[in-house]
């Protein structure tokens, strides 16, 4: 080997990391499968597919960090997959199940179905774009706005729950429209939601935590659609409550600093 060859920097191999991107692709598949299932009026399968996509979305990032295979390509690919799985898929599944039937109503009310579905999809896109631009500066303990996977879980669980019980009245369709619109607005709101990113599964926890986990799984097994929807309602409501608490604490700390400075 000559001196010139030894001094030539080795080119970085081009390619993508297989494992995390395979998980992202699996999630994308189930998001697409949810849309196809809804078109075929298989709403329970569509809802379950969205939940499987959520599991894949949670795994790909953790696997990338654990195996040190993070990449800019993976970040962008994951974001595009999220738009399909948690933006388009829930909106179209909800439209096929309930919102599309609103077109039978006369006047402006008949258009609210597809407007509500589009509103959810657009808010999901805005939520993801805001998240990507704030990734390096945002407080990792909290999400700004309802996370899109949680919003998709709310829509999917409502469809699953309503379809299993045969809830297909006009009142249910209006309720579905309200849930879809409010969920979309929560995604682009400034409410703070706890991210659970500080939870470290490598450390020991009190025994009572394991007992609570077992009870939670048993409760989930009773009737998954209802339990999942109730869980979504609790988490969606936690944002406004947490934001009020954080602002009140901030005002109290500011008042203490002002009084200390005055003294």
The DSSP secondary structure of 73-130, one letter per residue, reads HHHHHHHHHHHIIIIIHHHHHHHHHTGGGGGGSSGGGGGHHHHHHHHHHHHHHHHHHH
Structure tokens, 154: 């709310």
Note the pLDDT tens digit of each residue in 194-218.
887 766 666 676 778 788 888 888 8
Query: What does the pLDDT read at residue 148?
Result: 95
Q: What is the CA radius of gyration of the chain?
A: 22
Q: Does residue 40 fall inside a structural domain? A: yes
Q: Identify the pLDDT of residue 198.
A: 67
In a domain, 203, yes or no: no
**Tens digit of each residue's pLDDT (9 = 90 or more) over 224-236:** 999 999 999 999 9
- Asked, for residue 209, whether it belongs to a domain, the answer is no
Could you give the number of structural domains in the chain? 1
Residue 189 lies in a domain: yes
In whole angstroms, give the CA distance from residue 62 to residue 64: 5
Q: Cβ distance 88 to 36 under 8 Å?
A: no
CATH at 57: 1.20.120.1760
pLDDT class for 7, splitting at 50, 70, 90? low
Which range, of 97-101, 133-137, 190-194, averages the lowest pLDDT? 133-137
Tokens 């309602």, located at residue: 233
Q: Single out the residue of 228, 147, 217 nearest to residue 183, CA to CA.
A: 147
Smallest Cα–Cα separation from 128: which of 190, 62, 83, 69?
A: 83
62-96 pLDDT, tens digit per residue, is 888 888 888 888 889 999 999 999 999 999 999 99
Q: Is residue 145 assigned to a domain?
A: yes
- Where residue 101 falls among pLDDT bands split at 50, 70, 90? confident
Provide the whole-model pTM.
0.86
Instruction: Give the confidence band of 163 by pLDDT, cuts at 50, 70, 90.
Output: very high
- Do the beta carbons of residue 149 and residue 131 sit within 8 Å? no
* Domain-located, residue 29: yes
- In-domain check, residue 1: no
The answer to whether position 185 is within a domain reads: yes
Can you give the residue range of the structural domain that contains 170? 16-198+218-262
Question: Tell me, what DSSP letter sits at residue 189?
Answer: S
């Amino acid at each position: 080997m000559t001196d010139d060859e030894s001094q030539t920097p080795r080119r970085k191999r081009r390619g993508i990391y297989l494992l995390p991107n395979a998980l992202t692709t699996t999630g994308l598949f189930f998001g697409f499968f949810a849309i196809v299932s809804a078109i075929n009026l298989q709403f329970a399968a569509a809802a379950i597919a969205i939940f499987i996509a959520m599991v894949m979305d949670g795994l790909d990032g953790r696997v990338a960090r654990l195996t040190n295979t993070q990449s800019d390509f993976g970040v962008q690919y994951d974001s595009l997959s999220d738009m399909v799985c948690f933006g388009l898929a829930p909106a179209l599944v909800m439209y096929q199940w309930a919102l599309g039937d609103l077109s039978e109503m006369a006047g402006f009310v008949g258009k609210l179905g597809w407007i509500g579905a589009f509103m959810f999809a657009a808010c999901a896109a805005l939520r993801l774009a805001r998240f990507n631009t704030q990734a390096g500066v945002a407080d990792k303990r909290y999400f700004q706005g309802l996370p899109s996977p949680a919003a998709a879980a709310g829509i999917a669980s409502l469809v699953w729950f309503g379809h299993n019980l045969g809830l297909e009245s006009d009142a249910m369709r209006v309720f579905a429209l309200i849930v879809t619109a409010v969920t979309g607005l929560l995604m682009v709101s400034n409410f703070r939601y706890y991210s659970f990113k500080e939870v470290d599964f490598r450390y020991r926890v009190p025994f009572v935590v394991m007992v609570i986990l077992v009870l939670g799984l048993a409760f989930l097994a009773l009737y998954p659609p209802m339990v999942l929807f109730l869980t979504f309602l609790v988490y969606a409501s936690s944002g406004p409550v947490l934001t009020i608490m954080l602002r009140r604490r901030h005002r109290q700390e500011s008042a203490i600093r002002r009084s200390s400075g005055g003294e």
